[in-house]
Amino acid sequence: MESQEQHDQKEPFDMGIVAYFVRIMRTLFIGFFWGIINVFLGLYLGFGIPEESTQGRMIFFYSWFVISLGGYLYLVFRMWRKKKPVQDNYK
């Protein structure tokens, strides 16, 4: 086990790095989740394949795809545009 001196000598963990990592993980998770939903609707259910789908289902799928892509990009833009100040709890 560490002595008290070794524990005191360690630099404190920067919470700004943690917040940055959390934003990266949220962006990736939401993007993968969005992609999985669209692959399921378009390929598995056949909404995006012209040979397997009707015109109405294709209009629904591609409308959903464009609207949800716009929503995802807006969400990512809002998440990343703010420069959050780093709060240093160790001073």
Q: What confidence tens digit (pLDDT) does each residue in 51-86 have?
A: 989 999 999 999 999 999 999 999 999 999 977 655
What range defines the domain where residue 47 resides? Answer: 17-81
Evaluate whether 77 touches 90 at the Cβ level (below 8 Å).
Answer: no
Q: Is residue 49 part of a domain?
A: yes
| The pair of three-digit structure tokens given for residue 14, joined into one six-digit string | 């920067």
Q: Is residue 71 part of a domain?
A: yes
Rounded-to-integer distance, Cα 34 and Cα 62, Å: 14
**What would the pLDDT profile of 2-24 be if each residue is shown by its tens digit?**
666 666 666 677 778 888 899 99
Q: Is residue 8 part of a domain?
A: no
| The pair of three-digit structure tokens given for residue 41, joined into one six-digit string | 């609707």
Q: Which residue has the tokens 């998440």?
A: 79
Q: Which of 15, 19, 68 is nearest to 42 (CA)?
A: 68
Q: Is residue 70 part of a domain?
A: yes
